[in-house]
Amino acid sequence: MSRLLLLGTGTPAPLVHRAGSSYLLQTGEQTLLIDCGPGSVRRLLEAGIEITDIDHLLLTHLHYDHCVDYGYLTLTRLDQGVGQIDELQVIGPAPVQHMTDRLFATDGVYGPDLAARTQHPGSHFIYERRGGAMPRKPPMPVVGEVVHGDKIDGPGWRLDVAEVVHVQPQLTCLAYRLETAEGETIVFGADTAPTAALTELARDADVLLHMCHFINGAIDDQRLTSCCSGHLDAAHTAADAGVSTLVLVHLTEMMETPGVRERLLGEVAQIFPGQVIFSEDLLEVPLGQITTQQIR
């Protein structure tokens, strides 16, 4: 059985109890991180996950609340991996290769840091004490840029890619459907307005993680509704796709007023007949049907 853990369920607005978008999928021998918004690396530590255990990073898009911890993740893997782990495998839309180059190249953002870590004797001492063998090399994440319709066969998982509707043409946003060797299907809907592309990608999935950025009816300005989804949008997509479990993510504080959360879940349930989960950081999402025997 695979494991799906919600690391960050918030938005760009900083909240103590919600980190930026980030989700962990452990399947077989693989550990995949989907997005790495602000605070996600700390959430990994809180969850007891070693940073060096992350094999793949999948980025849905390059808004900072989905990718700002990319540098932190990569540098921490370098520091703690002491040359004994494979390079981080990164999948995402263009220009993620350019971002990677600008972060980790010799003249990149972290160029001076990496020069010190790979050249200074003090850094060599720490590296060797941790078990590393010289020479010490800088990180070189292996990047694969993907587009709508791409399919990737990974070690013990399969990935299908669909472009969704967010802030194009400035940024491309992708949703991912991951099928595990154990037979589970999880769809990471990313940030999107309602779109047939996501409905088709999520067809008959076990779990759909869907953006829930506002309350439908409370906000009707097309500038937002044309690029983001509300709670009823998520419910309709989940119902139309026939998924088993809908997880509402990318939540704003407007959802959390006492009584509002309960009303929203009730309205979602009127449209979508499956399981509905109101996300929280560090919540593990059941990948099968919840039964009364599991409730204690």
Sequence ranges of the domains in the chain: 3-294
Q: How far apart are CA 39 and CA 14, in angstroms?
A: 10
- Alpha carbons within 13 angstroms on the beta-carbon side of residue 278 total 15
Length of the chain: 296
158: which 2 tokens? 């399969």
94-136 pLDDT, tens digit per residue, is 999 999 999 999 999 999 999 999 999 999 999 999 999 999 9
The tens-digit pLDDT sequence of the chain (296 residues) is 899 999 999 999 999 999 999 999 999 999 999 999 999 999 999 999 999 999 999 999 999 999 999 999 999 999 999 999 999 999 999 999 999 999 999 999 999 999 999 999 999 999 999 999 999 999 999 999 999 999 999 999 999 999 999 999 999 999 999 999 999 999 999 999 999 999 999 999 999 999 999 999 999 999 999 999 999 999 999 999 999 999 999 999 999 888 999 999 999 999 999 999 999 999 999 997 665 455 44
Write down the pLDDT at residue 288. 75
- Beta strand 56-58 pairing with 30-34: parallel
Between vectors from CA 190 to CA 181 and to CA 87, what angle results, nearest 5°?
A: 55
Q: How far apart are CA 272 and CA 252, in angstroms?
A: 21
Q: Which CATH topology does 3-294 take?
A: Metallo-beta-lactamase; Chain A (3.60.15)
Q: How far apart are CA 205 and CA 186, in angstroms?
A: 6
Q: How far apart are CA 161 and CA 176, in angstroms?
A: 5
147: which 2 tokens? 């587009």
Task: Answer positive or negative: Cα dihedral of 190, 145, 44, 67.
Answer: negative
pTM beyond cutoff 0.85: yes
Q: How far apart are CA 212 and CA 220, in angstroms?
A: 14
Q: How far apart are CA 76 and CA 78, in angstroms?
A: 5
- Cβ(145)–Cβ(94) below 8 Å: yes
